[in-house]
Amino acid sequence: MSSHRRVMPAAYLIPVLLAGVVLVAFLALLLGGADLSPSRIIAALWEGIRGQASDDTAARIILGIRLPRIVLALAIGAGMGLSGLAAQTLFRNPLASPYVLGVSNGAAVGAVVAMLLVGKTLGYAAVPIMSVAGGLVVSAAVFALARRSDHFGHSLLLAGIAISAFCSALTAAALYLAGERLQTLVFWLMGGLWQATWRDVLLMLPVTAIALLGLMFLAPAMNVALVGERSASDLGVHVRRFQILLLLIICVTTAVAVAVSGVIGFVGLIVPHLLRMLLGADHRGLVPASAAGGALLLLVADTLARTVAVPAEIPVGIITALVGAPVFLWFLHRRAAGGGWA
Amino acid sequence: MILRADHITFAYGDGDAVLRDASLELRPGIVTGLFGPNGSGKTTLLRCLNGSLAPSAGQVLLDGRSIVSMTRRQIARHVAVVPQDTPTDVPLTVRQMVMLGRYAHGTTWDQESPEDNQTVDACMARMGVAPLAHRPFGRLSGGERQRTIIARALAQQGCVLLMDEPNAHLDLAHQIEVYRLARTLAGEGQAVLMICHDLLIAPLMVDVAVAIHRGEIVAVGSAREVLTAQRLAEVFGTTASIVWDDDQRVTARFAPQDRSSVSLNADRVRPN
């Protein structure tokens, strides 16, 4: 075995990921039920940028359906990559993710309850608010339970599994009571972006932007946090404040993503892990790379979801889980073989 | 800078006090050795000294300023800690690990400054880990790991160095090296505290010995005054004596009850 593995500088990889995002985004604008030429797409985008969008069908498909969906996929994917990275750092465990920790399922419970009540007593904002509340309750519970243990990472995953199962049961109970709205809720739960609107983009994009800026700001402290709480404190990190900030970023980003797109698993787990293998553990590179990588992965998955079975659409959560679960198992295998963090 | 614990008392949760009315002063240029059996409160005292634990009574003062009023970052710029244990599953290279010592000096957004790089290179060279710079920390031997952690503490460029059993994983030659380093750092004006378990080399290397027993500081003075046979019996509960031989050699005699007596010799390793 070589004494060390050379890592790729983030400055090389991030532009490649961003170029991939632009390329796939343009491809995603091209692909779909309506056959639109590249020149028509460019023309519609240009009109849109100048605020002079024409009112024909093509422009409406591009600017009103495909573009918001693409931007939403990028914002959610980036948010998932970021919250996954934050979770792995917070718990010093490369297999942690908001999904594994139960935050996604907790957010789903909040969102489902809100959805059942929307239209009766609550407005549109209730879904993300309840979703964030659900996510917060679960993260606080998991955090409190796991903190008491000497084997923080281990207890955390176990607590996450138990609370996830509990939340799934609550969601199932809510679905049981859903009546004629059952089908909508079930499709939403599978995770998908087919209902993407600019309103969703306006909700998700600022959250992702704040998560990105927040984690860029925290990146040096995230590096220090790798050595454990006590040493991080000795080296100058205010550990408690740092942990609370990370938890808030994880929770709000995940919960808002769940509110607009349902539960989409594995992006937050795999992207930071894969990038850590390529880039090493320096968070100053990992943070922007995880955002770009998550955005790219979810956009690819969502583009596949809406094109492989035209005219039908596969919920993107099914695709990410089908690809993600085997990759997760591969990580576990590597870890068992002494792979550890990377 | 002087780091002073002033009559501090500390208890974990609702438990009994682990430290009782402990006072200690760490001065520039002085190596202080803290001696005491397991569970006597040595690490707790060290963690109070760097503000990680807040005493329930008394206070810790860094140049007259209460340490609990300072931010973690401010403290880390003045007080560096070599911990007893560092997790090995840290996905960092040796150089990245040493660079963490610069965290308290960094502005949040910055990449490393040229000064950071110079300091880190110098500290790695000083601890002999420069050739391992790109080696994963987790793949180092115990001794290499400890030297990396000491290099990290040096990179903090503080004026107080607190070392919690820095020799725990080191062979004899490296132990002596660490003591020599402590003396050199003291010579450069640092205040150094070492938690010591060995009674063979440490007594020769420290300027001030402090004995701690059941959370109370029972003696402060030169090693010769503090580590008497009677006190070793009281504090460690074992029959042992340190025989000083015209200050050039020391012999520690141990007489465990179930064995015939054992004696160990050490030449004076302290550089003059």
Q: Which residue of A has its CA nearest to B47?
A: A234
Listed ranges A51-60, A86-95, A121-130; the one with the highest mean pLDDT: A86-95
| DSSP per-residue codes, B136-150 | BGGGS-HHHHHHHHH
Q: Pick from B87, B89, B103: which is nearest to A220 by CB?
A: B103
- Check whether A335 has a pLDDT greater than 70: no
Locate the chain B residue with the closest alpha carbon to A3.
B135
**Residue among A4, A216, A220 whose CB faces B93 most closely:** A4
Residues 6 or more apart from B99 whose CB is under 8 A from it? B112, B116, B120, B155
CB atoms within 10 A of CB B108: 11
Residues A11-20: pLDDT tens digits?
A: 788 999 999 9
Residue A27 CB-half CA count within 13 A = 15
Burial of A141 (0-12, 13-18, 19+ CB in 10 A): middle
And the tokens for B133?
């710079």
Q: What is the pLDDT of residue A342?
A: 45
- Mutation to test the A interface, candidates B53, B90, B154, most A Cβ within 10 Å: B90
For residues A304 and B269, the model is more confident at A304
Point out the residue among A3, A227, A276 whose CB comes nearest to the CB of B100: A227
Taking a C-beta distance cutoff of 8 angstroms, is the pair A281, A342 a contact? yes
Q: Which of B83, B138, B139 sits opposite A231 (nearest CB)?
A: B83
User: For the domain B3-267, what is the CATH code?
Assistant: 3.40.50.300
Pair type for strands B262-267 and B208-213: unpaired
pLDDT of residue B159: 94
How far lies A182's CA from each of A172, A189, A241, in Å?
10, 10, 41
Structure tokens at A90: 């917070």
pLDDT score for B271: 46
Residue whose token pair is 């062979």: B171
Distance of alpha carbon A199 from alpha carbon A144, whole angstroms: 35
B contact set with A (CB within 8 A): 50, 52, 71-73, 75-77, 80-81, 83, 86-87, 89-93, 96-97, 100-101, 103-104, 106, 108-109, 111, 134-136, 138-139, 152, 156
Asked if residue A311 has a cis previous peptide bond (ω within 30° of 0), the answer is yes
Task: Answer whether A236 touches B (CB < 8 Å).
Answer: yes
C-alpha triplet B1, B4, B9: angle, nearest 5°: 155
DSSP-based three-state secondary structure for A4: coil
Asked if A123 reaches chain B (Cβ–Cβ under 8 Å), the answer is: no
Binary contact (B93, A234; C-beta < 8 A):
no
Residue in B closest to A238 by C-alpha: B72
The whole-number pLDDT of residue B12 equals 86
The ranges assigned to domains in chain B are 3-267
| Model confidence at A264: pLDDT above 80 | yes
Q: How far apart are CA B34 and CA B226, in angstroms?
A: 11
DSSP per-residue letters across A205-243: HHHHHHHHHHHHHHHHHHHHHTT-HHHHHHTT--HHHHH
Both tokens of residue B162?
């607190």
Residues linked to residue B196 through DSSP beta bridges, in sequence order:
B35
User: In chain B, which residues have their Cβ closer than 8 Å to the Cβ of A220?
Assistant: 103, 106, 108
CA-CA distance, A265 to A97, in Å (whole number)? Answer: 9
- What per-residue confidence (pLDDT) applies to A189? 79
For residue B109, the chain A residues in CB contact (below 8 A) are: 216-217
Between B268 and A260, where is the model more confident? A260
Cα A290 from Cα A275, distance rounded (Å) = 7
Q: Tell me, what's the pLDDT at B251?
A: 74
Residues A132, A106: Cα–Cα separation, whole Å: 9
d(CA A303, CA A299): 6
Amino acid at A58: A
Whether residues A236 and B96 touch (CB distance < 8 A) is answered with: no
3-state secondary structure of B261: coil
Task: Please state the rounded mean pLDDT for residues A59-71.
Answer: 87
Confidence of residue A38 (pLDDT cuts 50, 70, 90): confident
| Non-local CB neighbours of A48 within 8 Å, separated by 6+ positions | A59, A62, A63, A67
Identity at B201, one-letter amino acid code: I
**DSSP bridge partners of B136:** B93
Exposed, middle or buried by CB within 10 Å (0-12, 13-18, 19+), for A275? buried
Listed residue (A260, A306, A314) closest to A104, CA to CA: A260
CB-based contact A227 B52, cutoff 8 Å: no
Half-sphere exposure of B195 (CA within 13 A, CB side): 24
Which chain A residue's Cα is nearest to B98? A224
pLDDT tens digits, one per residue of A127-172: 888 888 898 888 888 877 776 655 666 677 788 888 888 998 998 8
* Residue A121 CB-density burial (10 A; 0-12 exposed, 13-18 middle, 19+ buried): exposed
User: CA-CA distance, B68 to B55, in Å (whole number)?
Assistant: 9
- Answer yes or no: do B134 and A233 touch at CB < 8 A: no
Q: Using CB atoms, pick whichever of B50, B81, B89 lies closest to residue A340.
A: B89
Pick B76's closest partner by Cβ from A216, A235, A282.
A235
| Positions of chain B with pLDDT under 50 | 258, 270-272
The dihedral through the CA atoms of B7, B13, B16, B19 has a sign that is negative
Determine the Cα–Cα distance for residues A229 and A231; give it in Å rounded to an integer: 6
* Integer Cα distance of A324 and A155 in angstroms: 23
Q: What are the strands of the beta sheet with B240-245, ordered from one edge? A: B240-245, B249-254, B262-267
Residue of A nearest to B87 (CA): A227
CB-CB neighbors (< 8 A) of A11 in chain B: none
A120 touches B: beta carbon within 8 Å:
no
| SS3 label, residue A112 | helix
Interface of A with B in 167-226 (CB under 8 A): 216-217, 220-221, 223-224, 226
- Give kind and range of the element (H or E) at residue B165: none
Average pLDDT, chain A: 84
Task: Report the C-alpha gap between A126 and B154 in whole angstroms.
Answer: 53
Contact yes or no for A236 and B93 at CB 8 A: no
How far apart CA B101 and CA B104 sit, in angstroms, is: 7
Instruction: Note the pLDDT tens digit of each residue in A175-222.
Output: 888 777 787 788 777 778 888 889 889 999 999 999 999 999 999 999
Q: Do A224 and B111 touch (CB under 8 A)?
A: no
Among 1.10.3720.10, 3.40.50.1110, 1.10.4160.10, 1.10.3470.10, what is the CATH number of A16-339? 1.10.3470.10
pLDDT higher than threshold 60 for residue A339: no
Percent of chain A, pLDDT > 70? 91
Residue of B50, B72, B92 with shortest CB distance to A237: B72
Banded model confidence at residue A1, pLDDT cuts 50, 70, 90: very low
Cα–Cα–Cα angle for A129, A132, A136, nearest 5°? 140
**Contact partners, residue B125, CB within 8 Å, separation at least 6:** none
Contacts of B91 in chain A (CB under 8 A): 226, 276, 280-281, 340-342
Residue of A234, A242, A243 best to disrupt the B interface, most CBs of B under 10 A: A234
A227 and B104 in contact by Cβ < 8 A? no
pLDDT band per the 50, 70, 90 thresholds, residue A263:
confident
Per-residue confidence (pLDDT) for residue A2, from 0 to 100: 35
Do strands B191-196 and B262-267 pair parallel, antiparallel, or not at all (unpaired)? unpaired
Chain B: give the shortest CA distance to residue A267, in Å.
21
- Residue pair B147/B131 in contact by the 8 Å Cβ criterion: no
Minimum Cα–Cα distance from B86: chain A residue:
A227
